[in-house]
Amino acid sequence: MSATHKAEAKPPMRDALVAAAFRLFLERGYEQTTVDDIVALAGVGRRSFFRYFPSKEDVVFPDHERCLADMTAFLAASGKEHEPVRRVCDAARLVLLMYAENPSFSVQRYRLTKQVPGLRAYELSVVWRYERALAEYLRGRFTGRPDGNLHADVIAAAVVAAHNNALRSWLRSDGEGDASATVDHALGYVQSAFGASPTAPAPTARPAFPALPAPPADELPQDVVVVVSRRGAPLWRVVQEIETTLGRD
Amino acid sequence: MSATHKAEAKPPMRDALVAAAFRLFLERGYEQTTVDDIVALAGVGRRSFFRYFPSKEDVVFPDHERCLADMTAFLAASGKEHEPVRRVCDAARLVLLMYAENPSFSVQRYRLTKQVPGLRAYELSVVWRYERALAEYLRGRFTGRPDGNLHADVIAAAVVAAHNNALRSWLRSDGEGDASATVDHALGYVQSAFGASPTAPAPTARPAFPALPAPPADELPQDVVVVVSRRGAPLWRVVQEIETTLGRD
């Protein structure tokens, strides 16, 4: 717990260790850098390193523990008023914020991780923990629904994949461009696929199109776009859908 | 290549090594068993072990390389006539078949993997390779579509999550029950979410409602907004119209 607390406070020594580690990783390569090299450059002892980081891998991803804790707290603070799919999308955005806080560091780490198989494996295990956090929340919200656990697992995986697709494309562009917009767009796809059905009330007597008289085809202009949208959908989602329909980017 | 070929042929020595390894893993624990222990029990030399398995982890998952090769070949043999989402679901079923070939071995391994963090990490990397194989195929099929790569990544992740949810529930039931039916049901959920829209053919002789993928009636929420707009209308006009309809400013 004390390590977590210190991680949240971001003391200078912790930052100095991360900075020293990355300078050496980029100069010599990750495998060629030892913890001894890092502490020598940072001017601290080995015990200080291991007070903050359980292993050399952890110094590469110094903020994931904090972010996982933030995500868990965010999800735990959810109420019944939160639409669950939107809620896990919002939770995923916390990961993006962590990357976007320091674009140049995130881009450096992305390049490093691509080169070192051990770091890719570490990253997979971190991604898996985020995915489980989202899935556990959804499982709770879907309790009692048929296939609730299945839906929770699939939606959590889809959210993580969409988030990571957007995050990686932002990282590949060297952290240029609007990361939030890219991630919003990607998560919009997941919400459009899953946002309604797992949370929609079971259909009762309600007709499918309660107040939609289908316009006679011959009264419509030849070149027409029809967008059907939930009333509660955020406007950006509707615009996105129109853009996609019109084939604009 | 020769190792792969031997893996396909499943020679007795390879089987003997797997059997000896599992006997020791279950008796002594995974961490307490060395490669030397395994080869001593199997009555072969260390070089024989490493001819079949690059590491001790690999003997736990002896058939994944073959299965990955089968999946890649299956996807490569796809044609335009295959609906892409169904095709990746069928590809995922190859993994299930591998597990179902030998239920008691699969159940033993599931229990072992749950106990050993290193094996869980190994398994995550294998799952990631399956997911990438599915995503790469979908990316190819979705080339030229808006957001093709995003859709490919999300659908691949959803397929893997659905498959693994079903596989794990079968493994937790000690390999009792109909694994195929469980996986089919889980994959059906993914197909219902993604099966139609990403693969709908581009409108050609465009009818009056050119780009309206009719949502399944039971998925339509009560409170729906329908906007009909000319295709050539500027986007801001469409947005204005929606805002007016929604009563927003």
Q: What is the CATH number of the domain that holds B142?
A: 1.10.357.10
Whether ipTM exceeds 0.85: no
DSSP secondary structure letter of residue A218? G
Final residue of a structural domain among A57, A81, A99: A57
Residues A95 and A186 in one domain: yes
Residues A189 and A222 in one domain: no
* Pairwise CB contact (< 8 Å): A242 & B246: no
Minimal Cβ distance to A224: which of B154, B190, B208: B208
In angstroms, the CA B191 to CA B83 distance is 10
- The alpha-helical segments, DSSP class H, found in chain A are 2-9, 12-28, 35-42, 46-52, 56-60, 64-76, 84-100, 103-115, 117-141, 148-172, 179-194, 235-246
* Pairwise CB contact (< 8 Å): B165 & A153: yes
Residues A143 and A92 in one domain: yes
* Pairwise CB contact (< 8 Å): B154 & A128: no
pLDDT tens sequence for chain A (249 residues): 444 444 455 668 998 999 999 999 989 989 999 999 999 999 999 999 999 999 998 999 888 999 999 999 999 999 999 999 999 999 999 999 999 998 988 999 999 999 888 888 889 999 999 999 999 999 999 999 999 999 999 999 999 999 999 999 999 999 888 999 999 999 999 999 997 543 333 333 333 333 333 334 443 334 444 444 544 454 444 445 555 554 443
- B133 is in which domain, residue-wise? 2-199
- Total residues belonging to chain B: 249
* Pairwise CB contact (< 8 Å): B165 & A186: no
Total count of domains within chain A = 3
Residues B108 and B225 in one domain: no
A220 CB neighbours in chain B (<8 A) are 208-209, 228
Q: Give the distance between the most distant pair of CA atoms in chain B.
A: 80
* Pairwise CB contact (< 8 Å): B150 & A162: yes
Minimal Cβ distance to B189: which of A150, A161, A190: A150
- The alpha-helical segments, DSSP class H, found in B173-249 are 179-194, 235-246
* Pairwise CB contact (< 8 Å): B208 & A190: no
Report the chain B residue with the minimal C-alpha distance to residue A226.
Answer: B228
* Helices A117-141 and A84-100: angle between axes, nearest 10 degrees: 150
Rounded average pLDDT per 10-residue block, chain B, 249 residues: 48 88 91 94 93 91 92 96 96 95 90 89 93 98 96 98 96 90 96 66 33 39 45 46 47
In angstroms, the CA B75 to CA B88 distance is 8
A43 strand-pairing partners: none
Phi, psi for B72 (deg, rounded to 5):
-60, -40
Residues A152 and A78 in one domain: yes
Residue that is written with structure tokens 């997941």 in the block: A190
Q: CB atoms < 10 A from the CB of A1, how many?
A: 5
- The alpha-helical segments, DSSP class H, found in A148-178 are 148-172
Minimal Cβ distance to A150: which of B165, B211, B231: B165
Residues B120 and B235 in one domain: no
Residues A172 and A226 in one domain: no
What is the rounded end-to-end Cα distance, in angstroms, of chain B?
65
